[in-house]
Structure 1
């Protein structure tokens, strides 16, 4: 099990100084990865919570992290596919991979906020089928000399994209989502799965079994997939509860039983 840490990209602590300190110190201490997330907008009443009220753009934040570190892997959990045309996402993620020396992990999903869908002009209909077409097309921009595509949702004239990402085949694509269709899509098409930070750790094993089963049904090797557990924790507000959690070994064993994956602890103050 490898442990990552969330970069401070949300709220009042999302400052250049804080990001720099967390990133440099996490690398010094040997953490495996640093993670960002995407939130374009939030409702004026704050119904989504303080975490989503003010959030830095994850692509820009990863570029900053790449400049301040040299070893730690850099992840986004997750970018919402419908908000980007496939070649735009391919170009941005490929560029991040070049600038970071091949350290990018690309978590992607289909989004959930109606307000964001409306604001960017995205279509919520047939989101699953769109993702089925999107993911293989995204990889082709990183692997094919010439990309030409005419699908149900996307059309690409015969063109090419350069430079190629540093990682062969491009950054690993880790699909988010908790519903069974999303889990099975991760097994069929992605390089792995990333959980929600609000997921119940006790339920991760069941989700991972669905992903692995879908991979086997598609003729893929389930053992080649990566699983990222995004777990939230808090300090300060409830120190007694935090001490209890530290003394309870079951809290530490649950991710191990869930399967082979990297763990991500996201602090929310």
Structure 2
């Protein structure tokens, strides 16, 4: 089992350099696989969109909470660590032009010696997506094309370049360097059948949000069926699920592993007390018998 730690964005500390830098260093020292950061390019002060992961329809991150750009934050944390995986969870794809995104991700991956993992989604806040210049209704088709563009640019020939002429993006003979240091995994986040289909057809894994039981099993089955239909190996796709740092136990981890989960993304308690945050991580690592390499 791989254990990732979500940066405590709701505590409002992820834009405080010494706090989040020391936190990431401790995540690495404890032996966790990666640190995961979230994205909201903007948060509308008032919005009519419904947040799908809370019965209130509103997310806990308010307009007064600092939410750093995820890639810039990962670049900062890359310099504070040496082995720790650097992941998004989630990157809102409609917020980004894929040509620019390909350059930014490849740069971080090259300079971190291949530590980047992307988990991407199409976003739920219409106000955010539209503020970034994309049409909300077509963001799913746009995301499919964006993933194709990222892969093409990262693996494309540096002599002839890459040409792409799609519904949303068009360019010819484009070369982007540096190339990523490794094949950057792209996992798909979300709770919908469309997310599961996208994971099967184009992704390297699925990170379902807010689902369990039969609905989770259905999403996994859809992902595997779509992979099979696309001529891909379903067994090569990873499944990541969330859990609380304070509540995870070896027994719960074993149960999740038996259900096909390969990574648990752990959410720490939202605190501004760095010592308390580090203590919680240390206790979790001890409970799970982790050790830094």
TM-score, normalized by the shorter chain, greater than 0.5? yes
1:18 alignment counterpart: 19
Matched residue, 2:278: none
Structure 1, unmatched stretches of 5+, are: 236-241
CA displacement at 1:125 relative to structure 2: 2.8
Q: What residue in structure 2 maps to residue 157 of structure 1? A: 172
Displacement of 1:254: 4.3
Contact kept? 2:37, 2:70, Cα under 8 Å: yes
SS in 1 for 2:12: helix
Where do 1:1-269 residues align within 5 Å?
Answer: 1-14=1-14, 15-44=16-45, 48-53=58-63, 54=65, 55-145=67-157, 146-167=161-182, 170-196=183-209, 198-200=210-212, 203-231=215-243, 233=244, 249=251, 251-269=252-270
Q: How far did residue 111 of structure 1 move?
A: 0.9
Provide TM-score, normalisation by structure 1.
0.86
Unaligned runs of 5+ in 2: 48-56, 271-293
Q: Which has the higher contact order (CA 8 A, sep 6+)?
A: 2
Q: Given the two structures, how large is their TM-score scaled by the length of structure 2? A: 0.79
**Deviation for aligned residue 1:203:** 4.6
- Cα distance between partner residues in 2 of 1:77 and 1:52: 18
CA distance in 2, matches of 1:148, 1:123: 24
Q: RMSD of aligned C-alpha atoms?
A: 2.3
Cα separation, 2, equivalents of 1:261 and 1:61: 25
The aligned length equals 255
